[in-house]
Amino acid sequence: MSEVLERHGWMLDAPLEQLMARAAQLRDQGQHGNLVTFSPKVFLPLTRLCRDTCGYCTFAQPPRPGRRAYMTLDEVLQVARLGASLGCSEALLTLGDKPEERWPEAAAELAELGYGSTLEYVEAAARAVLAETGLLPHVNAGVMGERELRALKQVSASQGLMLESTSRALLQPGGPHEGCPDKDPDARLATIEAAGRAAVPYTSGILVGIGDTRADRLHALACLHALHDKYGHIQELIIQNFRAKPGTRMAAAPEPDLRELQWAAPPNLTPLTEAATEAAAAGEGAGASSGGSGGQDAELASLQSSWRGLLDAGINDWGGISPLTRDFVNPERPWPHLAPLAAATAATGKLLLPRLPVYPLYLGLLGGAARRMPPGTAQQRGPGQAQGGRPQGDDAAEHAGGGGVGSAGAAGARAAGGAGGRGGAGAMEWLDFTGGRGSVGAAVLRAADSSGFLRASAWVAGRPEPAQEEQEQEDRCLEAPTAEAGAGVAEALPSGRGGGGGGPGRDTAGREACHSPPSAPAPSAPAPSAPAPVSVSAAAPGAASRRSAPLPRPREGRAWRVAVGPDGALEGVEGPRDPSPRVVRLLEGVLREGRPLQPPDTELLLCSRGADHAAVCAAADALRAAACGDTVSYVVNRNINYTNVCTYKCSFCAFSKGKAAEQLRGPAYVVPLEEISRRAAEAWERGATEVCMQGGIHPDFTGDSYLRILEAAKQGAPRIHVHAFSPLEVAHGAATMGLSHEA
């Protein structure tokens, strides 16, 4: 503690406004810029039994006669599917710590379900959610070892555990953590460090107002900072405010005020808060109707004021918010409707945007978060990997992990700017790709846009539009064998599906698909993966018949859906009216001064959203008008595809060599040079002024091959313009000639 106070003690006496200004400045200079994010989620309380007895917790409940201890996998999937239909991307699996070690009922039910521990059941539930719904699991399963963390990493996008506090006084008799072995700071720090060794994108944070002091909070944040410096795995810090709840030992304890939360967002260790959970029913009602009572309006205005105060303190994320499930940690405080939250965010010049449970920095898309290794250990690195990057974590209070109000801290945002390397190296380090397309790593990348946030659409290059997909499916049905051809085979196989190869079982499965409408994922929901089927428990174990937790019942007319629009912004809510100052400066420099854009500037404009996107489009239109007036031109050309042989296997490409039976594909070919000349001459004779030449990356082609292709076109039509070669072809040809592609 003394070392921490010696280094950070100045914050205890510094003016709050100074700390807030510095934190906000670092936030604005970081990766998120003017974006403030949240994670659209479903809350899955897998079990509310717990071996701990925290003095402030209403989540943990004792066993009740006739009520199951755990949600069944059927119930988990039912809620997850509803969430996916509403645009959620996260499935938050939250539960009490090791309930089977305290409650015989939990141990007995686990045994009947066929699992040896709660953590085994968590793994099964996460695997089912991932495989069956496409939602990305975020796991808050309490204190555990590295082996369990690695097992859960295979089925989750991120994990979390609140440190809460390092004050051992809280464990003493009468303290909030009396009788709570899992709240020992050493045990929690050991789990958080084990997550670092396992390279798990992790969420942690502190709980403010449970008897801790500001010095205690500094010490806890410093401990997290040290672990993050060592491993780089804490993607988000949460500052969770204590709420006094009836029926708990701390029902009469004072609650921390807003300034305590603002203070806990210091400029070198930034947090989250629970403010987003404080949208009372009045806030939700105001979002669903045109008006409300004066009292409701006043309460909503007060909430929005406190939200703006937290944004002024430097937070850049509101944590997890659900359009479907209740907050089981703070049931008296419903999630906020997105409309008032977006309005409060826009009032500070920020754009509210949905994200995934794992932050973009861990996908290798924003500079790449390279895993940090403890001193004295070796790190094996792949091509393009670079050391650096200091991310931040994801959660929202221990049980709300990923669900309270969040902020990827200023420390992470500041350090992320210096991270090296781009591409997928970061994702390969932080996510598990075991199982290929069916892996959680692949699911995360499918759900992410080019900036690492939630995709605006489930469509990807190579996947037909819905109408085209329906037509292609109809065509396949016409080509399929008659129903009698596979009679009897479907009955012998689970779900009527064939085994392997081209046997009748596979045809039967194909025919079944033809007789049902194509199911396209919701526009903003991640595309479901297709791994092996997951067994799901249909019956309740033992004599218990009632659910462990109530299932959500969406209210007609009150539900809202998360969707990102074509401009990259959240649909149906308010955003900043004016573009950000940096975008304005860049556009004015181009339009008024003809100043060339640097690569980072171009990237910023290409990734613009909301008002920034509108400003970029308007500037592009103005530039077009200045350069071309109202004339829109086109070119008469001919495509010459000189080869469809390619060493790459891009999933979106319908051109390169593939199976002859597939649509838009044919046998491999290389067009002779004489034929290229003939086609160019024929194009010129018919009035074309250009030939466009493109092909696959043929393994036998060299730079000389491409030069001879150009010569052949010019021999056929000397005056024709040749538009040729992709960056891949240029790079391939240059490499074979020992040249740099810049040469």
Q: Which of 107-116, 124-133, 410-419, 591-600 has the lowest mean pLDDT?
A: 410-419
179-194 pLDDT, tens per residue? 888 889 999 999 999 9
How far is residue 382's CA from residue 371's CA, in Å, rounded to a whole number?
12
Q: Is the predicted pLDDT of residue 295 greater than 60, yes or no?
A: no
Tokens of 360: 């973009």
Higher pLDDT, 396 or 584: 584
User: Identity (one letter) of the amino acid at 138?
Assistant: H
550 forms bridges with which residues in the sheet?
none
Q: Is the predicted pLDDT of residue 536 greater than 70, yes or no?
A: no
Please check whether residue 510 is in contact with residue 476, taking contact to mean a CB–CB distance below 8 angstroms.
Answer: yes
Most confident of 98-102, 277-281, 374-378, 515-519: 98-102
Residues sharing a CB contact under 8 Å with residue 326, sequence separation 6 or more, in sequence order: 43, 334, 335, 552
Does some domain include residue 267? yes
Does some domain include residue 681? yes
Claim to verify: residue 7 and residue 107 sit in the same structural domain: yes
Q: Is the predicted pLDDT of residue 416 greater than 60, yes or no?
A: no
Instruction: Choose among 287, 370, 526, 362: nearest CA to 31.
Output: 362
Q: Taking the CB of residue 590, how many other CB atoms lie within 10 A of it?
A: 18
Q: H-type helices in 31-136, by residue range? A: 73-85, 104-113, 118-133
- At 502 the pLDDT is 35
Quote the Cα angle for 93-95-97, to 5°. 135
Structural domain of 655: 637-736
Beta strands in 393-444 (DSSP E): none
For residues 671-691, give the mean pLDDT: 98
At 472, is the pLDDT very low, low, confident or very high (cuts 50, 70, 90)? low
Q: Is the predicted pLDDT of residue 379 greater than 50, yes or no?
A: no
**Residue 27's domain is classified under what CATH number?**
3.20.20.70
For residues 526-552, give the mean pLDDT: 48
Q: Domain boundary residue among 447, 481, 498?
A: 447
At residue 152, what are phi and psi to the nearest 5 degrees? -70, -25
For residues 610-628, give the mean pLDDT: 95
Q: Is the predicted pLDDT of residue 1 greater than 80, yes or no?
A: no
Q: Is the predicted pLDDT of residue 284 greater than 50, yes or no?
A: no
At 32, is the pLDDT very low, low, confident or very high (cuts 50, 70, 90)? confident
Instruction: Choose among 355, 406, 272: nearest CA to 562.
Output: 355
Please check whether residue 634 is in contact with residue 685, taking contact to mean a CB–CB distance below 8 angstroms.
Answer: no
Higher pLDDT, 652 or 714: 714
How far is residue 429's CA from residue 201's CA, in Å, rounded to a whole number?
10
Does some domain include residue 255? yes
At residue 585, what are phi and psi to the nearest 5 degrees? -60, -45
What is the rounded average pLDDT for all residues in the chain? 77
Claim to verify: residue 257 and residue 277 sit in the same structural domain: yes
For residues 487-516, give the mean pLDDT: 31
- At 358 the pLDDT is 96
At 418, is the pLDDT very low, low, confident or very high (cuts 50, 70, 90)? very low
For residues 557-570, give the mean pLDDT: 83
153-172 pLDDT, tens per residue? 999 999 999 999 999 999 88
Long-range CB pairs of 657-662 (<8 Å, 24+ gap) are 657/696
How far is residue 117's CA from residue 506's CA, in Å, rounded to a whole number?
38
Claim to verify: residue 471 and residue 405 sit in the same structural domain: no
Q: H-type helices in 137-213, by residue range? A: 146-153, 185-197
Please check whether residue 272 is in contact with residue 321, taking contact to mean a CB–CB distance below 8 angstroms.
Answer: no
**Residue 705's domain is classified under what CATH number?**
3.30.750.210
123-137 pLDDT, tens per residue? 999 999 999 999 999
Please check whether residue 467 is in contact with residue 534, taking contact to mean a CB–CB distance below 8 angstroms.
Answer: no
Does some domain include residue 561? no
Claim to verify: residue 71 and residue 193 sit in the same structural domain: yes
At 7, is the pLDDT very low, low, confident or very high (cuts 50, 70, 90)? confident
536 burial level (CB within 10 Å; 0-12, 13-18, 19+)? middle
Claim to verify: residue 366 and residue 501 sit in the same structural domain: no
Q: Is the predicted pLDDT of residue 492 greater than 50, yes or no?
A: no
At 67, is the pLDDT very low, low, confident or very high (cuts 50, 70, 90)? confident
Please check whether residue 452 is in contact with residue 366, taking contact to mean a CB–CB distance below 8 angstroms.
Answer: yes
Q: Is the predicted pLDDT of residue 648 greater than 90, yes or no?
A: no
DSSP 481: P
For residues 556-583, give the mean pLDDT: 87
Claim to verify: residue 246 and residue 393 sit in the same structural domain: yes
Among all chains, which residue has been given the structure tokens 């290409």? Answer: 606
Does some domain include residue 325? yes
- At 524 the pLDDT is 38
Claim to verify: residue 393 and residue 344 sit in the same structural domain: yes
Tokens of 706: 């491409």
Please check whether residue 184 is in contact with residue 469, taking contact to mean a CB–CB distance below 8 angstroms.
Answer: no
Higher pLDDT, 71 or 507: 71
DSSP 172: S
Q: What percent of the chain has pLDDT over 90?
A: 48
How far is residue 148's CA from residue 36's CA, in Å, rounded to a whole number?
32
Claim to verify: residue 671 and residue 622 sit in the same structural domain: no
**Residues belonging to the chain:** 743
Higher pLDDT, 179 or 498: 179
Q: Is the predicted pLDDT of residue 532 greater than 60, yes or no?
A: no
Q: Which of 127-131, 289-293, 523-527 has the lowest mean pLDDT?
A: 289-293
Claim to verify: residue 231 and residue 95 sit in the same structural domain: yes
At residue 722, what are phi and psi to the nearest 5 degrees? -110, 115
Instruction: Give, for 3, the enclosing helix (H) or strand (E).
Output: helix 2-8
At 531, is the pLDDT very low, low, confident or very high (cuts 50, 70, 90)? very low
Q: Is the predicted pLDDT of residue 736 greater than 60, yes or no?
A: yes
- At 126 the pLDDT is 97
195-254 pLDDT, tens per residue? 999 999 999 999 999 999 999 999 999 999 999 999 999 999 998 888 888 888 888 899
Please check whether residue 444 is in contact with residue 427, taking contact to mean a CB–CB distance below 8 angstroms.
Answer: yes
422-440 pLDDT, tens per residue? 333 467 899 999 999 999 9
Higher pLDDT, 96 or 395: 96
Q: What percent of the chain has pLDDT over 70?
A: 71
At residue 93, what are phi and psi to the nearest 5 degrees? -95, 110
Instruction: Choose among 133, 125, 124: nearest CA to 82.
Output: 133
- At 349 the pLDDT is 93
Claim to verify: residue 613 and residue 645 sit in the same structural domain: no
Q: Domain boundary residue among 476, 495, 514?
A: 514
Q: Domain boundary residue among 562, 596, 628?
A: 628
332-354 pLDDT, tens per residue? 566 567 888 999 999 999 999 99
For residues 307-331, give the mean pLDDT: 82
- At 579 the pLDDT is 96
Q: H-type helices in 581-702, by residue range? A: 581-593, 599-606, 610-628, 673-685
Instruction: Choose among 161, 293, 176, 181: nearest CA to 238.
Output: 161
How far is residue 301's CA from residue 161's CA, in Å, rounded to a whole number?
33
- At 366 the pLDDT is 55
Does some domain include residue 617? yes
- At 63 the pLDDT is 79
Claim to verify: residue 617 and residue 717 sit in the same structural domain: no
Q: H-type helices in 198-251, by residue range? A: 214-231
Claim to verify: residue 66 and residue 174 sit in the same structural domain: yes
Which of helix, strand or coil describes residue 55? coil
Most confident of 9-23, 76-90, 542-556: 76-90
- At 342 the pLDDT is 93
Instruction: Choose among 196, 202, 220: nearest CA to 374.
Output: 196
User: Identity (one letter) of the amino acid at 522?
Assistant: A
Q: Which of 164-168, 241-245, 394-398, 612-616 has the lowest mean pLDDT?
A: 394-398
Q: In angstroms, how far apart are the furthest CA atoms of the chain?
A: 95
Q: Is the predicted pLDDT of residue 413 greater than 80, yes or no?
A: no
How far is residue 45's CA from residue 549's CA, in Å, rounded to a whole number?
7
pTM of the model: 0.75
Instruction: Choose among 324, 402, 357: nearest CA to 562.
Output: 324
Does some domain include residue 545? no
- At 96 the pLDDT is 83
Number of domains making up the chain: 4
Does some domain include residue 526? no
